[in-house]
A and B are shown apart, each in its own frame.
Chain A
Amino acid sequence: MTPDLNLSHTPAHRRQGSSIGQPMTRRDGILKVTGAATYAADNHPPDMLYAVLAVAAIARGRVASLDVAAALAHRGVVEVMTPANRPALALDPDAKFHPFMFRLDLLQNDGVRYPNQPIAVVIAETLEAATEGAALLAPRYETETARVGFEDAETFVPGGVGVGNPASQQKGDVKAGLAAAATRVEARYETPPQYHNAMEPHAIVASWDGDSLTVDTPSQGLAIAQGRIAGLFGLSPDKVHVRSPFLGGGFGSKGLVSGPQVLGILAARLVGRPVKLVLRREQMYGPVGHRAPTRQTLRLGIDSEGRLTALDHHALTASSTFDDFFEPAADASHTLYASPAIATAHEAVRLDTGTPLFMRAPGEATGSIALESAVDEAAWACGRDPLDFRLANYAEVEPMTGKPFSSKALRECYAEAAARFGWSGRPLAPRAMRDTAGLLTGWGMGTATFPALMFQAEARAVLKSDGRGLMETSAADMGQGAWTALAQIAADGLGLDIGQLEFRAGSSDLPDAGIAGGSGHTATAGMAIHNAGAAVIARLADIATADAASPLYGAGNEGVVARSGRLYRRGDESRSESYTEILGRAGLSEIEARGTSAADQDTREAYAMHAHGAVFAEVKVDPDLGQVRVTRLVGAFAAGRVINPRLVRSQYLGGMIWGASFALHEEALADHRTGRIQNANLAEYHVPVNADVPSVEALLVHEDDPYVNALGIKGVGEIGITGTAGAVANAVWHATGVRPRRFPVRIEDLLAGGGLG
Chain B
Amino acid sequence: MNRFDYVRPTSLAEAVAAAAMPGAAYLAGGTNLLDLMKGGVARPERLVDITRLPELNRVERLDDGSLRVGALVRNADLAHDQAFAATYPAVAEALLSGASAQLRNAATVGGNIMQRTRCSYFYDTASACNRRELGSGCDALAGENRHHAVLGWSPACIATHPSDFCVPLVALDAVVEIEGSKGRRHVTLEEFHRLPGEAPQRETVLEPGELVVAVRLPAEASAFASHARYLKLRERTSYAFAVVSAAAALVVEGGRIRQARLALGGVAAKPWRARAAEAALLGAEPGEAAYAGAAALALAEAKPSGDNGFKIELARRVAVRALSLAEAGTPARLPALPASVFASTTGARHDA
Contact = CB atoms under 8 A, between A and B. Distances in A.
A132 B350 contact: no
Interface in B1-23: 1-3
A692 B237 contact: yes
B318 A751 contact: no
B142 A631 contact: no
A549 interface: no
B236 A684 contact: no
Contacts of B320: 624
A557 B155 CA distance: 90
Interface in A65-124: 75
B236 A688 contact: yes
B105 to A, nearest CB: 17
Interface string A745-756: 011100110001
Given A435-B345, A686-B235, A686-B236, A135 B40 contact: yes
Contact of A665 (B236, B321, B344, B349): B236
A646 to B, nearest CB: 13
Interface in B216-250: 233-241, 243
A132 B40 CA distance: 9
Contacts of B341: 439, 622, 625, 627
Contacts of A747: 233, 235, 243, 310, 314
25 contacts: A58-B126, A75-B3, A131-B1, A132-B1, A132-B2, A135-B40, A437-B345, A439-B341, A620-B345, A624-B317, A624-B320, A625-B233, A625-B317, A627-B235, A671-B127, A673-B142, A678-B120, A690-B238, A691-B238, A692-B238, A696-B350, A697-B351, A747-B235, A747-B310, A756-B317
B83 interface: no
Contacts of B198: none
Interface string B301-337: 0000000001001100110110000000000000001
Nearest to A621: B341
Given A691-B239, A694-B348, 17 more contacts: A132-B2, A620-B342, A622-B341, A625-B317, A629-B237, A629-B342, A631-B345, A671-B127, A671-B143, A673-B139, A674-B126, A678-B121, A679-B120, A689-B237, A692-B236, A747-B243, A748-B146
Contacts of B2: 132, 135
B124 A631 contact: no
A58 B320 CA distance: 44
Interface in A624-649: 624-627, 629, 631-632
A728 to B, nearest CB: 14
Contacts of A683: 118, 240-241
A673 B144 CA distance: 10
A60 to B, nearest CB: 14
Interface string B122-139: 001011000000000001
Nearest to A622: B341
Contacts of B235: 627, 665, 686, 746-747
B347 interface: yes
A676 B237 contact: no
Contacts of A684: 118, 120
Interface residues of B, number: 43
B314 A669 contact: no
A420 to B, nearest CB: 9
Nearest to B121: A678
A673 B341 CA distance: 36
B310 A752 contact: yes
Given A678-B124, A686-B240, A747-B243, A694 B347 contact: yes
Contacts of A678: 120-121, 124, 143-144
Shortest Cβ-Cβ A-B pairs, 5 listed:
A694-B347, A57-B126, A748-B310, A695-B348, A678-B120
A209 interface: no
Contacts of B351: 695, 697
A128 interface: yes
Interface of A: 57-58, 75, 128, 131-132, 135, 435, 437, 439, 620, 622, 624-627, 629, 631-632, 665, 669, 671-674, 676, 678-679, 683-684, 686, 688-692, 694-697, 746-748, 751-752, 756
Interface of B: 1-3, 40, 118, 120-121, 124, 126-127, 139, 142-144, 146, 233-241, 243, 310, 313-314, 317-318, 320-321, 337, 340-342, 344-345, 347-351
B143 A673 contact: yes
B344 A437 contact: yes
Given A131-B1, A625-B314, A625-B341, A694 B350 contact: yes
Nearest to B244: A625
A56 to B, nearest CB: 9
B232 to A, nearest CB: 10
Contact of B126 (A131, A676, A697): A676
A131 B120 CA distance: 21
Contacts of A128: 1
B236 A689 contact: yes
B96 to A, nearest CB: 12
Nearest to B342: A629
Contacts of A627: 233-235, 340-342
Contact of A671 (B139, B237, B243, B337): B139
Contact of A632 (B118, B146, B321, B348): B348
B238 A689 contact: yes
A631 B120 contact: no
Nearest to B119: A678
B144 A669 contact: yes
B144 A671 contact: yes
Contacts of A75: 3
A618 to B, nearest CB: 9
Contacts of B146: 748
Contacts of A679: 120
B320 to A, nearest CB: 8
* Residue from A57, A58, A676 with most neighbouring chain B CB atoms (10 Å): A676
A688 B211 CA distance: 38
A424 to B, nearest CB: 18
Contacts of A688: 236
A673 B313 CA distance: 28
A679 B124 CA distance: 10
Contact of B237 (A439, A624, A691): A691
A624 B321 contact: yes
A145 B340 CA distance: 42
A435 B313 CA distance: 24
A671 B138 CA distance: 13
Contacts of A695: 347-351
B230 to A, nearest CB: 14
A131 B348 CA distance: 45
Nearest to B1: A132
A620 B348 CA distance: 12
Nearest to B347: A694
Contacts of A632: 348
A186 to B, nearest CB: 27
A736 to B, nearest CB: 14
Contacts of B1: 128, 131-132, 135
A748 B120 CA distance: 20
A631 B348 contact: yes
Contacts of A57: 126
Contact of B321 (A625, A631, A694): A625
Nearest to B236: A686
B315 to A, nearest CB: 10
A671 B143 CA distance: 6
A689 B239 contact: yes
B139 to A, nearest CB: 7
A439 B340 CA distance: 12
B347 to A, nearest CB: 3
Nearest to A748: B310
B50 to A, nearest CB: 23
Contact of A132 (B3, B238, B347): B3
A672 B142 CA distance: 9
A630 to B, nearest CB: 9
A751 B239 contact: no
* Residue from A132, A437, A678, A684 with most neighbouring chain B CB atoms (10 Å): A678
